[in-house]
Amino acid sequence: MIRTQISLTKQEYGAAKIEARRLGISLAELLRRSLRTMLPADEAKPWMRYAGMVESGDANSSMRIDEMIYGQKD
């Protein structure tokens, strides 16, 4: 990753910190996700626009990805 610096107003910073805390992510991750929504999607990988944007609330969801996507197995 490349490290960069930005300037925010106190109101922007405060609102961003509150939203990041609400989502359970870092301020840096909140800003990365926000930026991704503004940038054009990579035409070769259009699905990447949504990578990391969906949260199930289940900390173990990555171990049950098929169940999460396709539902309960019969």
Q: What is the chain's mean pLDDT, rounded?
A: 80
Distance CA 3, CA 23 (A): 22
Task: Considering only residues 66 and 6, tell me which one the structure prediction assigns the higher pLDDT.
Answer: 6
- pLDDT-based confidence at 1, cuts 50/70/90? confident
pLDDT given at position 27: 95
pLDDT given at position 20: 94
Q: pLDDT tens digits for 21-36?
A: 999 999 999 999 999 8
